């Protein structure tokens, strides 16, 4: 009887721990969604504020991939659209730092890491095609191909790879 009670107690504790983790994950994603939702117009100020919020969320959830991923994604989205804006280099540094944190994270989705690395190098090419095209072309290709090999359903990697090929065919 005691064994049955202790098994039920252990199961109850495990169940409550799982619920707690799920609630924390949901709360984190809600915070990320709220932060990303504030960027109605992708101005340098709005994106910089969003990235600052994402970094605070990352500090609250240091073992989670999502805040790092969205920091990199938001920074790179601004940078690719505004390659010569005065805030672009700061946002590129934020993206680089977020990607490095993603690489160090145990259990990080390597497909997502490769996607962000490919996007980072793609932005470098957009900033200065003559100087950076040959320098980073293979890095972009390798990272997108690896991302899609690891996860063929990675929609962001597919989209970015298509944009990259489209941009290269116009040159």
Asked whether residue 143 carries a pLDDT value surpassing 50, the answer given is yes
Give backbone dihedrals phi and psi of 88, rounded to 5 degrees, phi first.
-60, -45
- Residue 107 gets the label, from left (phi > 0), alpha (psi -120 to 50) or beta, of left
- Report pTM: 0.82
Rounded mean pLDDT, 113-122? 97
Task: Report how far residue 142's alpha carbon sits from residue 32's, in angstroms, rounded to the nearest whole number.
Answer: 29
pLDDT greater at residue 1 or residue 152: 152
Q: Is residue 118 classed exposed, middle or buried when 0-12, 13-18 and 19+ CB atoms within 10 A define those classes? A: buried
Q: Which of 93, 34, 26, 89 is nearest to 61 (CA)?
A: 26
pLDDT (tens digit, 9 = 90+) per residue, 71-117? 999 999 999 999 999 999 999 999 999 999 999 999 889 999 999 99
Predicted pLDDT of residue 171:
61
Q: Domains of the chain by range and CATH?
A: 2-169 (1.25.40)
Predicted pLDDT of residue 163:
93
pLDDT (tens digit, 9 = 90+) per residue, 3-22? 444 444 443 343 333 344 45
The CB-based long-range contact list for 116-121 (8 Å cut-off, 24+ gap) reads 116/69, 116/72, 116/73, 116/76, 117/143, 118/142, 118/143, 118/144, 118/147, 118/157, 118/160, 118/161, 118/164, 119/72, 119/73, 119/76, 119/80, 119/160, 120/72, 120/76, 120/92, 120/95, 120/96
Asked whether residue 127 carries a pLDDT value surpassing 80, the answer given is yes
pLDDT (tens digit, 9 = 90+) per residue, 35-85? 778 777 888 888 898 899 999 999 999 999 999 999 999 999 999 999 999
């Amino acid at each position: 009887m005691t064994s049955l009670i202790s098994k039920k107690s252990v199961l109850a504790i495990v169940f409550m721990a799982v619920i707690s983790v799920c609630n924390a994950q949901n709360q984190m994603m809600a915070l990320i969604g709220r932060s990303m939702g504030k960027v109605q117009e992708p101005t340098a100020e709005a994106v910089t504020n969003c990235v600052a919020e994402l970094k605070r969320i990352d500090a609250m959830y240091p073992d989670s991939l999502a805040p790092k991923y969205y920091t990199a994604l938001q920074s790179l989205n601004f940078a690719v659209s505004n390659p010569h804006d005065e805030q672009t280099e700061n946002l590129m540094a934020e993206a680089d730092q977020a990607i490095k944190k993603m690489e160090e994270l145990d259990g990080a989705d390597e497909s997502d890491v490769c996607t962000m690395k490919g996007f980072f190098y793609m932005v470098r090419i957009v900033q200065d095609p003559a100087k950076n095209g040959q320098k980073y072309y293979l890095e972009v290709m390798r990272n997108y191909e690896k991302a899609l090999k690891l996860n063929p359903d990675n929609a962001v990697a597919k989209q970015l790879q298509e944009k990259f090929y489209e941009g290269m065919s116009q040159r």
